Structure 1
Amino acid sequence: MFRKTVWESSLPQRQCLEALQRALEGPHDWEDVRGAAYGNRFRLKVLTRPRFWRRGRLQYTLYGAITEDGNGRTRITARRFRGCTDPVTFLLLYSLILLMLCIRPELQNLRELPFRAGLALLCCVLAAGADAAGYLFRMEESDRLRTALDNFLRDVLSARETDP
């Protein structure tokens, strides 16, 4: 579900962080790219325009860190989430399913606990499969979103992609 990519920037680490902060806070040309930066870590996401009642919206999320290697070059290590939803929302939703199925006040019999935990895990696996199928079904649109994030990093941080 995650794919690691490595970028190199010609800017120093401090300038990369400042440029990323400015690009995310102020008005910019990339109106679909949103995100936040925390120290040297950042999160970027790009969304498709909502259609009928926000159905069919696709989101592409990228988590990354800006570090400086021993040669004085700035490296941007990013992990791309391949899915239709944000992974944090994904994990929160399915941890809630696990909590609802496994831990209830009226659950007295501990012999039922492994069965209910297995049922919750099965729900999570099916939901992850459905999310991946939705992503694969809309692969062309997903590639457009990935390209938008790549262009954002290329323009804002003067970065180029290297092999991981």
Structure 2
Amino acid sequence: MAVVRWLGLSGMLLLVGCASTTTTVPPVEDARTDTAPGYEPQLPADVGTAEPGTVQGAGTSEARPNPSAEVPREQHEAIARLERRARQQLAEGQYGAAIDTAERGLRLNRYSANLYYLIAQAYAQQGVSAQARNFARLGLRYVGDNPLLRAELEQLARE
């Protein structure tokens, strides 16, 4: 009987000891849902064009510096690789893969008009014109002084 009691007490002490141990859980860095199926980006009412190197502030016509100008060189190279891969996937008819790849690039630099164009193009090829228009409009916000890209984005935004 003493052995059973001793095992019971030692088991309880073990459980209490485990329960009192503190552990630190790191915070979640990015729990966004903007890549969930059916996600549609919301455009602010004041969508317009800003000067190259600037981003138009939400709810105001005042332009502020573009944070993408401060992206490290390694990140620029990664974005360029993702853009090339997305273009290749788009050319091969892998529209879903092109969208996924370009969205990965946007997570690194959300101000890339080229990536918005690739996503809009892929959605247009899939026949999802509402999504194509939304991404084209987002790309127009950051297109800068590239008249060819601006014309392509404007055409996609009208379709």
TM-score for both structures, normalised by structure 1: 0.21
Pick the structure with more strand per residue.
1
Pick the structure with more helix per residue.
2
Rg larger in structure:
2
TM-score for both structures, normalised by structure 2: 0.21
Higher normalized contact order (CA 8 Å, seq sep 6+, divided by chain length): 1
